[in-house]
């Protein structure tokens, strides 16, 4: 038996996406900047994917900028907006539980003279709105909050956040990291008051190395990569045409039969939570139902170090994560788990299970049954050490 339950780290690329990308690499391999037919053929994929993405977001195709992935999208959004708007102020607001690609970028801006405020969250990982209201000043130029937390699946009230900050100052730029929410939630940036939105291909059964940034045409943004002026100078460099074709098709597939897929994942999530919490000294840090994301389950197995549980499950062909796969694999305390108030022994024993459209009940049963059969032995092993 085999169970891949680490879909928040990366997903298996859709067979249709693989086939399309092979065609692009094998047949339509021209440089999209070339003026001959090979270049024109390659450019078609760029336009087609933009059409797909723009339609899903109810945006304009001119508002889609392709990047190398979620990290670059977050960097471009945050650094680009900060630099473009620094004459208006130097205060930036974010949450204390953001992904490392946001937190590290904020640290860079702090080192370069910007003031960054980190908002606390409640026990479910939801941003403290009162703290946001206190943090907003006339110097605030940018607010950046993730849509779905990558470790526990908390859904942030992005529309409520946008309404508040825009009521204080309509010029404040609002960035949302949607890397874990795109394909799992309906997102219409204009309606939701989102100015900048980051997305990654490999979280939605697309390829690695490709992502995009939705950038409202009303927002001032400076590029952070310079060169030949591709994408109207906002992101120079020859476009990754196979990746772009892949993310467009993956996005289209993600929102096909959407309600059915999300309902299935939510049902499986709740089923897994019910089964795993029946085990002794096990607690779940994610919300059931639609209060949390449909695909992320954070579980604390008290008395068992997360790395020990991870590798013990790996020995049984069950693949999970002990934290964000995008951060360094060196041990570090999770800002998210600390932020929601977990004790050190809980943080040290937390494992993330993450589902996809293809996850089966049999995989979840295999995982829980395997854990049930080994957990007491692992606790004894931990105590002896």
The whole-angstrom separation of Cα 309 and Cα 374 is 9
- Is 326 marked active-site? yes
Q: What is the 3 state secondary structure string of the chain?
A: CCEECECCCCCCCCHHHHHHHHHHHHCCCCCCCCCCHHHHHHHHHHHHHHHHHHHHHCCCHHHEEEECCHHHHHHHHHHHHHHHCHHHCCEEEEECCCCHHHHHHHHHHHHCCCEEEEECECCCCCECHHHHHHHCCCCEEEEEEECECCCCCEECCHHHHHHHHHHHCCCCEEEEECCCCECCECCCHHHHCCCEEEEEHHHCCCCCCCEEEEECCCCCCCCCCCCCCCHHHCCCCCCCHHHHHHHHHHHHHHCCCHHHHHHHHHHHHHHHHHHHCCCCCEEECCCCHHHECCCEEEEEECCCCHHHHHHHHHCCCEECECCCCCCCCCCCCCHHHHHCCCCHHHHCCEEEEECCCCCCHHHHHHHHHHHHHHHHHHHHHHHHC
**Catalytic entry in 83, 168, 302, 326:** 326
Q: Which residues are catalytic?
A: 326
């Amino acid at each position: 038996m085999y169970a891949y339950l680490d879909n928040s780290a990366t997903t298996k690329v859709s067979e249709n996406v693989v086939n399309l990308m092979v065609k692009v690499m094998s047949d339509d391999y021209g440089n999209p900047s070339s003026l001959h037919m090979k270049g024109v053929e390659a450019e078609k994929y760029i336009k087609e994917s933009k059409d797909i993405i723009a339609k899903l977001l109810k945006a304009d195709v001119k508002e889609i900028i392709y990047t190398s992935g979620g990290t670059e999208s977050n960097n471009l959004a945050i650094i680009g907006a900060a630099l473009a708007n620094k004459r208006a102020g130097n205060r930036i607001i974010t949450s204390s539980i953001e992904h490392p690609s946001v937190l590290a970028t904020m640290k860079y801006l702090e080192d370069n003279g910007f003031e960054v405020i980190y908002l606390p969250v409640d026990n479910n990982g939801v941003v403290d709105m009162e703290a946001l209201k206190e943090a907003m000043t006339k110097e605030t130029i940018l607010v950046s909050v993730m849509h779905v937390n990558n470790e526990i699946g908390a859904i942030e009230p992005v529309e409520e956040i946008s309404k508040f900050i825009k009521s204080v100052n309509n010029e404040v730029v609002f960035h949302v990291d949607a890397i874990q929410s795109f394909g799992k939630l309906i997102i219409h940036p204009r309606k939701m008051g989102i100015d900048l939105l980051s997305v990654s291909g490999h979280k939605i059964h697309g390829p690695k190395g490709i992502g995009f940034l939705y950038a409202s045409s009303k927002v001032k943004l400076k590029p952070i990569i310079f060169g030949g002026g591709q994408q109207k100078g906002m992101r120079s460099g020859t476009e990754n045409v196979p990746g772009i074709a892949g993310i467009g098709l993956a996005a289209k597939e993600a929102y096909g039969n959407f309600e059915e897929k999300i309902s299935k994942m939510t049902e499986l999530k709740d089923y897994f939570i019910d089964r795993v919490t029946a085990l002794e000294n096990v607690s779940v840090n994610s919300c059931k139902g639609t209060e949390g994301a449909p695909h992320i389950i954070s579980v604390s197995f008290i008395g068992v170090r997360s790395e020990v549980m991870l590798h013990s499950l790996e020995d049984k062909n069950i693949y999970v994560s002990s934290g964000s796969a995008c951060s360094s694999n060196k041990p570090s305390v999770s800002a998210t788990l600390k932020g929601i108030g977990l004790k050190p022994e809980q943080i040290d024993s937390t494992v993330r299970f993450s589902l996809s459209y293809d996850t089966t009940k049999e995989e979840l049963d295999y995982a829980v049954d395997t854990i049930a059969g080994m957990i007491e032995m692992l606790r004894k092993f931990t105590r002896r050490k």
